[in-house]
Structure 1
Amino acid sequence: MLNKTLVPQSVAREIQAMIRNGTLKAGEKIPSQRGFSQTLGVSRASLREALLTLETLGLLKTEAGRGTFVATAAANGTTSASGHMAPWRYSDSYSVFDVFQTRILLEGEIARLSAGRLTQLQLDRMETATQTMEECWARQDLLSNVEADLAFHGTIVSACSNAMLKALYQTVRDQVTETQRQPIPITDPERMRHSIAEHRRIIAALRNNDAAAARQEMEAHIRNTARCAGLSP
């Protein structure tokens, strides 16, 4: 049985496939959560989380008083560089600006402390994740693109020498994850190419055990992602 974290992810993947293969068409309204959850064989809570994820990625769009619909660009299998970001889910606790600013401080230091500690297997996993990001973006598998991005960053965190920083990262992981999804609907192919190149520069710094460069490259990467979202932290 899938755990509570993986169930919404699995549901989101199934719905994304329905959008891509035309089962759910452009502009079509998503069925009621009660009926749809029964069709998919999952709880309404898992379905809601999956729908929120797909909305953040720009595959769905919620209209007040009307419901949730398949986004036109998503159904056509094209990028939505002129699209709009979904509302920030965590506005009651932290602004998206705050989260990006925290990521720069936290992940920059984590990258610095991870230099010299990553195994060859971990470095190879990061290379594979970056390649997967590139391939999934090319075929517009947005869920897998972001999952590979999360795996890349998570591998660096796993090698950090400071247990408290690792724990702090886990406490804000949901918000961090959302900032990795949030800019996708307005990310053009050129920005994605730059992001992938930034990943490879981070890997190179870590392979060279260059702590200062790892921190600098990570901070630059997160700042550039924030700029893509229209922010300058």
Structure 2
Amino acid sequence: MLNRTLVPQSAARLIQDMIQSGELAAGEKIPSQREFSTKLGISRASLREALLTLETLGLIKTEAGRGTFVAERGSAANSGMAPWRYSDSYSVFDVFQTRIMLEGNIAALAAGRLTGNQLQAMEAATKQMEDCWAKQDLLANVEADLEFHAVIASACSNAMMRALYQVVREQLTETQRQPIPITEPARMKASIAEHRRIISALRDNDPVRARQEMENHVLNTARCAGLNP
């Protein structure tokens, strides 16, 4: 049983493990939130957040009037992406467009400011992305992606941009999860290569190249999601 203070991301990891081990089989209906939250020893709010994360990653699927089910293997690419959870506030197009502008500028303003330890952390996060994709540990793959981008944001010389990044981080995070169910292995390989080019530009203290590489990376992610902002 989980500790009741466990964060939703840890609950999502436990459920992902249950799916990968077969404890929750493909096509199986997820227990009711009341039952499942009691079984896991977490609040229903934490469970709901965990399930939303897993649905965005294509591991589970909610069917109107029927409930929530473990996704069938190989079905995610056919069923497309999960509904955009922030549609009441911003479209996914708007968020990607903002990411290109914001993260491109952040990368340019981080050039020359990253320490050796930070660059190593970005390299480690990129390697973790690669390794976790190979194991289909989708949660850890995205966590490593988030860490990569967060390190760059933390080195940005503009305090307001750093603050703005934190304000919109939930929406930015969702655009990093959203395309995962339809991401082909070749696209993930390309994304990892893009990360390494960003690291190279930052290591060389080249703000122009850092901006270009980051904008290209986010644009390619948007195109993977079927958008062209």
Distance 2:139 2:158 in 1: 30
Q: TM-score, normalised by structure 2?
A: 0.97
CA distance in 2, matches of 1:182, 1:151: 17
**Does 1:87 pair with 2:83?**
yes
**2:61 pairs with 1:65:** no
Letter in 1 for 2:131: E
SS at 1:206's partner residue? helix
Count of paired positions: 228
Match of 2:17 in 1: 17
Aligned pairs for 1:28-47 within 5 A? 28-47=28-47
Task: Give the C-alpha shift of residue 80 in structure 1.
Answer: 3.9
Query: Partner of 1:50 in structure 2?
Result: 50
Mapping 1:75-224, distance limit 5 Å: 80-224=76-220
Aligned partner of residue 87 in structure 2, secondary structure: coil
Amino acid across the alignment from 1:40: L
- Flag structure 2 segments of 5+ consecutive residues without an equivalent: none
Question: How far is the alpha carbon of 1:82 from its aligned partner?
Answer: 3.3
* CA distance 1:163–1:142, shift in 2 (3 Å): same
Identity among equivalent pairs (%): 74
Q: Equivalents in 2 of 1:7, 1:123: separation in Å?
A: 28
Q: Which digits, 9 at most, give the CA deviation of each residue in 1:163-203, with x for residues without a partner?
A: 10011111110000000000000000000000000000000
Q: Aligned partners of 1:195, 1:12: CA distance in 2, in Å? A: 24
- TM-score scaled by length of structure 1: 0.95
C-alpha contact 2:4 2:43 (8 A) present in aligned 1? no
SS of 1:209's partner is: coil
* Paired residue secondary structure (2:210): helix
Task: Show structure 1 runs of 5+ residues with no match.
Answer: none
Aligned residue type for 2:7: V
- C-alpha RMSD of the superposition: 1.5
CA distance in 2, matches of 1:145, 1:2: 24
